[in-house]
């Protein structure tokens, strides 16, 4: 029997018995599998909770407690161990304090006081940073774009098991649709960004910094293909189906929920109304006080 | 030569390998009774020791270290020096790692600027030879650290089948030991860099290259003594003779000190009052 294109394993449509394509296993054999820890019921609850919190979403979508389709799938990810070395230049700021005298009025008298004013002294610095990064994940599926995958993370790869057909049998497991070259490029860019963040947060000396520039060289030690557990849910939305993803290990929900234009319109109208009302009160108050002053002057003149 | 037997204490979990002909009368770590020591099969993924540091101190040196320790504080009971100390030789598990550490550092040095400091940065590689990290499950890192340094250069090959001295079984895996070794190397490298560049503050990012490690054993004397109805444990570094342990505080000495302090305070108060003439005014003098 042939499996649908792009799948390594699935369940038989007729008898629901687990199927694994052993020919594909030889060419695209995954290295590790993270098993599902979130059962169907918990994934459903997580989705309902997530939608309930999205109060700008169309009401029809928020009330859809049950997705029309909730299915589990093993999504392939490339997992990188890499040694990254970076060079950086930055302007490092060190604080110093000067004492300033100023005059002020206290109880109608002018007095001279002193205060401490913080100044920053900037010095250029160039240096380097190195770090070994482990288990950096890049989505190998065009169905789960890298941006969405990053939001779904983290996955605890410490709980991953060495791949065996028994681990994926009965659950659809996708084959990689992103090439090694594409994924490697993404990994390099992401690791360079992580390095830059690490340099900014925990490597630069001093009190503050600006104009940080860094360039990184990524040496990949190990690439593994791992299968990660994901629940996919599809809801009928007003303008096409809405797809949400649930991390099958942590229960984290990710997905772009459409905003109701009607609700946003109401919100804008409310805010504008409030501002308008406030301005009107201000104007009325000013006019009233002018009137009172005028009246008082009039009475005083008499 | 007789068989080796691994036993584990049901009370504290400490696991020791010793000659079957010389079974341990009590647990070396908690003083637990012999019936608590049950046969133990070490886990397969923990590697057996391959090297050992030899003992330099004799048992008499260790006893002398205990007598010095007993005299080291005024608050210890005076008869502590004559307490009967049950002392045994023991090899504790550790890992010895060698490798290259490539450290990229930044820091601040003192300078004649407005803020008094200036940022600096650099990179330096350093080779480390046989860095020891403790792998004993029954002793805390603090206890081992307090034992002071072992001479890592005297490492010799060790064959479990020829072990004469009981040794504790490790439960530390290679990857955990490697991480601990990297932390220790980074700590040493940071200390070196801070000293050599006169850094006020430093930050270090380092990577280990070509790391090689093996499980080894370090020599200690482990001792227990009874004072009152309490058992106290001491450890003596089998190479340097440095001692780490706890001791009871003499309640008599504390009580006497409190009384003495109270008396001194009272005397001082009387002195002040007599100086101001208050006592005379009260008709007491």
Is B3 strand, coil or helix?
coil
User: Distance between CA atoms of A127 and A91, rounded to whole angstroms?
Assistant: 11
* Average pLDDT rounded to a whole number, residues A252-263: 81
Which of A125, A128, A131 has the CB atom closest to B123's CB atom?
A: A128
Asked if B175 is an interface residue toward chain A (Cβ–Cβ < 8 A), one would say no
User: Distance between CA atoms of B221 and B219, rounded to whole angstroms?
Assistant: 7
If one counts every other C-beta atom within 10 angstroms of the C-beta of residue B114, the result is 14
Q: B114 and A128: CB-CB below 8 Å?
A: no
The DSSP bridge partners found for residue A91 are: A124, A210
Note the pLDDT tens digit of each residue in B233-265.
888 888 888 888 777 777 878 888 888 899 999
Of B119 and B65, more confident: B119
User: Distance between CA atoms of B67 and B59, rounded to whole angstroms?
Assistant: 13
Asked if B107 is an interface residue toward chain A (Cβ–Cβ < 8 A), one would say yes
User: Distance between CA atoms of A144 and A126, rounded to whole angstroms?
Assistant: 39
Cis ω before B82 (30° cut-off from 0): no
Model confidence at B129: pLDDT above 70: yes
First and final CA of chain B: distance in angstroms?
Answer: 86
Cα angle B280, B282, B285; round to 5: 40
User: Distance between CA atoms of A13 and B104, rounded to whole angstroms?
Assistant: 57
User: Distance between CA atoms of A214 and B25, rounded to whole angstroms?
Assistant: 63
Question: What is the reported pLDDT for B42?
Answer: 75
**Is there a contact between B77 and B70 (Cβ–Cβ < 8 Å)?**
no
Predicted TM-score (pTM) of this structure: 0.72
Question: What is the reported pLDDT for A24?
Answer: 61
Model confidence at A8: pLDDT above 50: yes
ipTM of the complex: 0.72
First and final CA of chain A: distance in angstroms?
Answer: 108
Model confidence at B178: pLDDT above 80: yes
Residues of chain A with Cβ-Cβ distance to B107 below 8 Å are 205
- Among left, alpha and beta (phi > 0; psi -120 to 50; other), residue A184 is alpha
Asked if B207 is an interface residue toward chain A (Cβ–Cβ < 8 A), one would say yes
Top-ranked range on mean pLDDT: pick from A22-36, A264-278, B135-149: A264-278
**Is there a contact between A21 and A9 (Cβ–Cβ < 8 Å)?**
yes
**Is there a contact between B122 and B203 (Cβ–Cβ < 8 Å)?**
no
Question: What is the reported pLDDT for B285?
Answer: 52
Q: CA B222 from chain center: how many Å?
A: 12
- Detail the DSSP E strand segments found in chain A: 7-11, 18-20, 32-33, 69-106, 109-139, 161-162, 173-174, 208-237, 240-247, 253-254
Model confidence at B284: pLDDT above 60: no
Asked if A95 is an interface residue toward chain B (Cβ–Cβ < 8 A), one would say yes
DSSP states along B31-60: --BGGGEEE----TTSPPP-EEPPP-S-HH
**Is there a contact between B49 and B158 (Cβ–Cβ < 8 Å)?**
yes
Radius of gyration over every alpha carbon of chain A, rounded to an integer in angstroms: 31
Min Cα–Cα distance to chain B from A55, Å: 45
The DSSP bridge partners found for residue A233 are: A70, A244
Model confidence at A117: pLDDT above 90: yes
Model confidence at A46: pLDDT above 80: yes
Secondary-structure breakdown of chain A: helix, strand, coil percentages, each rounded to the nearest 5: 35, 40, 25
Residues of chain B with Cβ-Cβ distance to A121 below 8 Å are 113-115
Question: What is the reported pLDDT for A193?
Answer: 95
Q: A205 and B206: CB-CB below 8 Å?
A: no
**Is there a contact between B223 and B87 (Cβ–Cβ < 8 Å)?**
yes
Token pair belonging to B258: 């409190």
| Pick from A170, A161, A165, A142: nearest CA to A224 | A161
Is A296 strand, coil or helix?
helix
* Cβ within 8 Å of B, A 123-142: 123, 125-132
Model confidence at A228: pLDDT above 90: yes
- Among left, alpha and beta (phi > 0; psi -120 to 50; other), residue B162 is alpha
Question: What is the reported pLDDT for A58?
Answer: 76
Distances from the Cα of B233 to the Cαs of A52, B26, B86, B150, B247, in angstroms?
60, 13, 10, 20, 8
Asked if B104 is an interface residue toward chain A (Cβ–Cβ < 8 A), one would say yes
Token pair belonging to A121: 């002294």
Q: Phi, psi (5° rounding) for residue A292?
A: -60, -45
User: Distance between CA atoms of A52 and A241, rounded to whole angstroms?
Assistant: 18
Half-sphere exposure of A195 (CA within 13 A, CB side): 26
Which of A95, A119, A205 has the CB atom closest to B106's CB atom?
A: A205
Min Cα–Cα distance to chain B from A83, Å: 8
Question: What is the reported pLDDT for B1?
Answer: 46
Taking CA atoms, what residue in A is nearest to B108? A205
Note the pLDDT tens digit of each residue in A80-101.
999 999 999 999 999 999 999 9
User: Distance between CA atoms of A173 and A156, rounded to whole angstroms?
Assistant: 19
Note the pLDDT tens digit of each residue in A175-200.
888 889 999 999 999 999 999 999 99
């Amino acid at each position: 029997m042939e499996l649908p294109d792009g799948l390594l394993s699935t369940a038989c449509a007729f008898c629901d018995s687990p199927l694994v394509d052993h020919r594909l296993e030889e060419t695209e054999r995954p290295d590790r599998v993270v098993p599902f820890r979130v059962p169907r019921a918990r994934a459903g609850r997580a989705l309902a909770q997530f939608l309930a919190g999205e109060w700008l979403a169309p009401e029809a979508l928020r009330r859809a407690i049950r997705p029309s389709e909730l299915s589990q799938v093993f999504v392939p990810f490339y997992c990188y161990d890499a040694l990254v070395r970076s060079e950086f230049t930055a302007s490092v700021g060190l604080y110093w304090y000067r004492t300033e005298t100023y005059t002020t009025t206290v109880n109608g008298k002018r007095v001279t006081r002193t205060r401490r004013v913080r100044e920053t002294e900037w010095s250029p610095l160039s240096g380097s940073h190195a770090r070994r990064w482990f288990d950096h994940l890049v989505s190998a599926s065009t169905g789960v774009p890298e941006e969405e995958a990053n939001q779904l993370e983290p996955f605890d790869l410490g709980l991953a098991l060495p791949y065996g057909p028994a681990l994926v049998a009965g659950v659809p497991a996708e084959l990689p649709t992103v090439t090694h070259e594409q994924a490697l490029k993404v990994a390099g860019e992401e690791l360079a960004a992580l390095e830059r963040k690490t340099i900014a947060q925990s490597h630069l000396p001093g009190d503050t910094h600006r104009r940080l520039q860094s360039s990184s060289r990524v040496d990949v030690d190990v690439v593994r293909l791992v299968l990660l557990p994901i629940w996919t849910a599809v809801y009928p939305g007003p303008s096409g189906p809405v797809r949400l993803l649930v991390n099958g290990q942590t229960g984290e929900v990710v997905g772009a929920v459409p905003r109701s234009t009607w609700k946003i319109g109401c919100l804008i109208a409310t805010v504008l109304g409030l501002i308008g009302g406030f301005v009107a009160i201000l104007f009325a108050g000013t006019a009233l006080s002018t009137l009172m002053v005028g009246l008082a002057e009039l009475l005083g003149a008499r | 030569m007789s068989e080796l037997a691994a036993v584990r204490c049901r009370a504290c979990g400490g696991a020791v390998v010793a000659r079957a002909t010389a079974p341990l009368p009590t647990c070396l770590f908690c003083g637990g009774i012999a019936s608590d020591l049950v046969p133990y099969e070490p886990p397969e993924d923990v590697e057996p020791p391959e090297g050992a540091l030899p003992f330099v101190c004799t048992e008499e040196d260790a006893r002398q270290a205990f007598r010095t320790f007993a005299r080291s504080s005024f608050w210890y009971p005076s008869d502590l020096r004559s307490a009967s100390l049950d002392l045994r030789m023991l090899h504790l598990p550790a890992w010895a790692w060698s490798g290259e550490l490539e450290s990229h550092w930044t820091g601040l040095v003192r300078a004649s600027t407005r803020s008094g400091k200036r940022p600096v940065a650099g990179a330096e590689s350093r080779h480390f030879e046989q860095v020891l990290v403790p792998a004993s499950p029954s002793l805390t890192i603090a206890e081992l650290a307090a034992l002071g340094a072992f001479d890592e250069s005297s490492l010799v090959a060790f064959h479990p089948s020829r072990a004469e001295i009981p040794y504790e079984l490790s439960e530390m895996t290679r990857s955990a030991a490697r991480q601990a070794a990297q932390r220790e190397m980074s700590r040493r490298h940071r200390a070196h860099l801070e000293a050599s560049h006169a850094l006020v503050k430093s930050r270090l990012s380092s990577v280990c290259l070509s790391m090689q490690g093996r499980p080894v054993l370090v020599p200690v004397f482990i001792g227990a003594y009874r004072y009152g109805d309490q058992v106290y444990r001491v450890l003596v570094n089998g190479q340097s003779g440095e001692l780490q342990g706890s001791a009871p505080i003499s309640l008599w000495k504390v009580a006497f000190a409190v009384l003495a302090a109270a008396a001194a305070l009272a005397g001082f108060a009387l002195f002040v009052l007599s100086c101001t003439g208050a006592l005379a005014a009260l008709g007491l003098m």
